[in-house]
A and B are shown apart, each in its own frame.
Chain A
Amino acid sequence: MPIITNLDVMMAKRKVSLKELADRIGISNTNLSLLKTGKVQGIRYRTLDAICKELDCQPGDILEYRADDD
């Protein structure tokens, strides 16, 4: 999929662990891990809002469009 999740980069910049962020935004570690590795079909605005609030960033810092090479 050409949508890349850069959540791990933002978490590293803000020095936040997966468990800590999951606790703060109120979703399970498993779901946050799936989101971080790009294994989800979608993300709710509510989740995106909470992540941006906690990491003090924009949605574009977390999600990136990268066109397929073919």
Chain B
Amino acid sequence: MTAIWTKRFVNTLLVLVAIAALAAVIQAAGSIADGKFHMVSYPASSENIRMEPLGGESAWWQMQAGTVRVDDHSWLRAARLVGRLAGLALLAGMFWQLRGLLVRIAEGDVFSDANVAALKRVGKLLIATSVLSISITFMTQYAILEAIPDMAERAIHPSISWNVKGVENIWMEYTPPIIPVLLAMISFITAGAFQSGKNYREDSESVV
């Protein structure tokens, strides 16, 4: 891929991130206009599967996943919006670093200080994104749990929790950012490899 096409590709990704940020703001504005901004919903799934027959005994409507919702939590909704925008900003920053890196490589400038620094920055941004994701999820789940009153027949759990016997257990869902953390590790290892390549190139260039 040429430098120009690389730039165009990453520019497209940056535009998509900007569109996602704009969509988040528009969605929030729509919620405020509808008077629903105080509602916070979060995906959850139950250990029980409710089944309803679909016109007989051979087909079923299975219900297991849904959302828990708490009202009067505008601050949480606003915090989640800020977190989402911050996450998108970090993603845009990562794409920007990637853009410079790919363009320099496409132009033949591979083992350089600029590329080593860009790879380290990509790794740091990925780690920051992961920490942000975990923090926002932790805050949201515990704020929702605080708002839900105790129930005799159901227990709502955060993502990491033991089940309670004798009640219907419902877990709030979350997939930890394992892939971003792995990509961050690969970025740091690649930065180290580029640093070694740069040292080797400099050494070989100044041996006569």
0/1 interface trace, chain A 23-42, chain B, CB 8 Å (1 if under): 00001000110110001111
**Count, A-B residue pairs, CB within 8 A:** 23
Please give, as numbers and ranges, the residues of chain B lying within 8 Å of A41 by CB-CB distance: 202-203, 206-207
0/1 interface trace, chain B 176-208, chain A, CB 8 Å (1 if under): 000000000000000000000000001100111
Please, how many residues of chain B have a CB less than 8 angstroms from a CB on the other chain?
A: 5
0/1 interface trace, chain B 61-91, chain A, CB 8 Å (1 if under): 0000000000000000000000000000000
- Complex-state Cα separation, A32 to B208, whole angstroms: 8
Please give, as numbers and ranges, the residues of chain A lying within 8 Å of B203 by CB-CB distance: 41-42
Please give me the residue from chain B that is nearest to A41 by CB atom. Answer: B206
Q: How far is the CB of A56 from the nearest CB of chain B, in Å?
A: 20
Please give, as numbers and ranges, the residues of chain B lying within 8 Å of A32 by CB-CB distance: 208
Please give, as numbers and ranges, the residues of chain A lying within 8 Å of B202 by CB-CB distance: 41
Please, how many residues of chain A have a CB less than 8 angstroms from a CB on the other chain?
A: 12
Please give me the residue from chain B that is nearest to A42 by CB atom. Answer: B207
Q: Does A47 contact B (CB under 8 A)?
A: yes
Please give, as numbers and ranges, the residues of chain A lying within 8 Å of B208 by CB-CB distance: 27, 31-32, 34-35, 40, 42-44, 47
- Complex-state Cα separation, A34 to B203, whole angstroms: 14
- Complex-state Cα separation, A43 to B206, whole angstroms: 9
Please give me the residue from chain A that is nearest to B205 by CB atom. Answer: A41
- Complex-state Cα separation, A31 to B207, whole angstroms: 9
Please give, as numbers and ranges, the residues of chain B lying within 8 Å of A40 by CB-CB distance: 206-208
Q: How far is the CB of A55 from the nearest CB of chain B, in Å?
A: 15
Q: How far is the CB of B1 from the nearest CB of chain A, in Å?
A: 35
Please give me the residue from chain B that is nearest to A47 by CB atom. Answer: B208
Please give me the residue from chain B that is nearest to A25 by CB atom. Answer: B208
A46-69 CB contacts (< 8 Å) to partner B:
47
Please give, as numbers and ranges, the residues of chain B lying within 8 Å of A35 by CB-CB distance: 208
Please give, as numbers and ranges, the residues of chain B lying within 8 Å of A34 by CB-CB distance: 206, 208
5 extra A-B contacts, CB within 8 A, seeds A42-B203, A42-B206, A42-B208: A27-B208, A31-B208, A35-B208, A40-B208, A41-B202
Binding site for B on A (CB under 8 A): 27, 31-32, 34-35, 39-44, 47
Closest 5 CB pairs of A and B: A42-B207, A41-B206, A31-B208, A40-B206, A35-B208
- Give 14 pairs: A residue, B residue, CB < 8 Å, sorted on A: A31-B208, A34-B206, A34-B208, A39-B206, A40-B206, A40-B207, A41-B202, A41-B203, A41-B206, A42-B206, A42-B207, A42-B208, A43-B208, A44-B207
